[in-house]
Amino acid sequence: MSRKQGARLTCDSSLGRNCLFRALGDQLEGHSRNHLRHRQETVDYMIKWREDFEPFVEDDVPFDKHVTNLAKPGTFAGNDAIVAFARNNQLNVVIHQPNAPLWQIRGTDKNNVRELHIAYRYREHYDSVRRINDDSEAPAYLQMEMLCKNDSNKREEAKLWKGEFEADEIEGETEDAVQKVLKATGCSDTDLVRHILDVEDYNVESAIFAVIQMNEVERIIGAEEQHDPQSEVQESCSRTLSEENRYGSRISGNQSLHQGEIGNNTGQARNNDKNQAGRNPKVSKKQKKEQQRLEKKKRQEERHRQKVLASKNDRADSSRRETDSSSHVTLVKTMEALNI
């Protein structure tokens, strides 16, 4: 057999005629210990879809007898069993044969589905096809890659051209997203919008919300600084000090005033400040309510931000899992394949 580059066969010749389901199990699960269950599930599927399989039973054997024999361990299984297995598991089975095109048995019309690769040798034996030096008990992730004869250079050129075209297209879409966010938010900082779009995975709606939220936070902070009670206290103290300075200047200008009068004037100024604060209790309560409202809004925004971050992390983890799964796939190059 002319083996494909990067693949090896796991021989199962010592295990009799259970080789097909052992090979399929090794491809699917990484081991062949569940071959009896795979056999029974395949037979059950053939019985359920009898009208699809009965016309292809060979040697004029009644269908009921055929499936009864097939259910017994050690009974040889052929193409009809492979078709039933592929359909039942919604995947494709690729059959390698010596010096022959690959046979692909499609169990579903969907694209980009799981492929199991088995080899058929000596007109009676099936093996599982794996990567060279792959002795693990992990599923064999092999994927068929179709190549046109004498056309590999054109294929590479087309790939490069496609990459450049996609890069230009992505840049255009990015600029369009930036302009949408700028227009919707009134923001003029293009670099900031690009950064937020990158953080939000170029989701325009999420980016618009983030910019608006950022502007709102800045507005709230500015309002707090303008209405900061501490600054008002400082301002009040400044006014008191200026008044005291005025009193002091008057005292220095009038030699007839005594030290007791200075104390009385100062005490009177303080009493005036206290009376003024006592006359405006509603102002302080209003400021307190406003402060509480702003703090509550900040807490709500922080909870929303945490939810958004958690959702992004979940999507990133899911994407990493898909990437990790695809990274295990080994491409099996072939010039020609026949579909069943």
Domain ranges for the chain, please list them: 8-146+328-339, 168-224+294-325, 229-279
Angle at 64 between CA 61 and CA 66, to 5 degrees: 50
**What is the separation, in whole angstroms, between the first and last Cα of the chain?**
22
Q: Find the farthest-apart pair of alpha carbons in the chain and give their distance in angstroms, rounded.
A: 138
Above 50 in pLDDT, residue 90? Answer: yes
Looking at the domain covering 8-146+328-339, what would its CATH class be? alpha beta
pLDDT digits (tens, 9 = 90+) for 190-201: 888 888 888 888
pLDDT at res. 60: 86
Task: Give the DSSP H/E element, type plus range, for residue 306.
Answer: helix 281-327
pLDDT digits (tens, 9 = 90+) for 119-132: 998 878 999 999 88
**d(Cα 173, Cα 159) in Å, to the nearest integer?**
21
Q: Which residue shows structure tokens 């694209």?
A: 111
pLDDT at res. 116: 97
